[in-house]
Copies of this chain bind each other. A is one copy, B any other.
Amino acid sequence: MADPLSRVFSALADPTRRDIVARLAVGDATVNELAAPYDVTVQAVSKHLRVLEDAGLVSRSREAQRRPVHLEAEVFDLMTKWIERYRRQAEERYRRLDDVLRAMPDADPPSPEGPTP
């Protein structure tokens, strides 16, 4: 799973990881602090952070034996851009279809419904 988009979407597909992101939006935190609210081991949270880091959503710096985790919000744009593109395209298509329906000459198109009976 090499492509960045898959990594980001996949990273945020887990509720615990989304929770961690939510918490990090408030401020940086250490692994132990992040693990505290959950009933999983610290190792599990460390794994989650690795996934988030690989996705570019999070960065870890060294500060003595602590490793404060920091949210990197820029990667979000990758997703929003992708989403917006296809949302826009779908809406555009809808609009165009509407136009076609409006400008429809009353010839009988291959519509299976009611071809002007």
Footprint of B on A, CB under 8 Å? 3, 5-6, 9-10, 12-15, 18, 21-22, 24-27, 63-64, 71, 73, 76, 79-80, 82-84, 86-87, 89-91, 93, 112
Contact A5 B25 (CB under 8 A): no
Chain A residues touching B, majority SS: helix
Decide yes or no: A25 and B86 within 8 Å by CB, A13-B13, A63-B112, A79-B79 being known contacts: yes
CA distance in complex: A95, B112 (Å)? 58
What residues of chain B lie closer than 8 Å to A21, measured between beta carbons?
86
Contact A13 B10 (CB under 8 A): yes
Contact A80 B82 (CB under 8 A): no
CA distance in complex: A84, B25 (Å)? 11
Partner of A13, one of B6, B84, B112: B6
Most chain B CB within 10 A, of A6, A9, A10, A24, is at A9
Decide yes or no: A83 and B90 within 8 Å by CB, A15-B6, A18-B5 being known contacts: no
Contact B112 A64 (CB under 8 A): yes
CA distance in complex: A21, B87 (Å)? 10
CA distance in complex: A112, B68 (Å)? 14
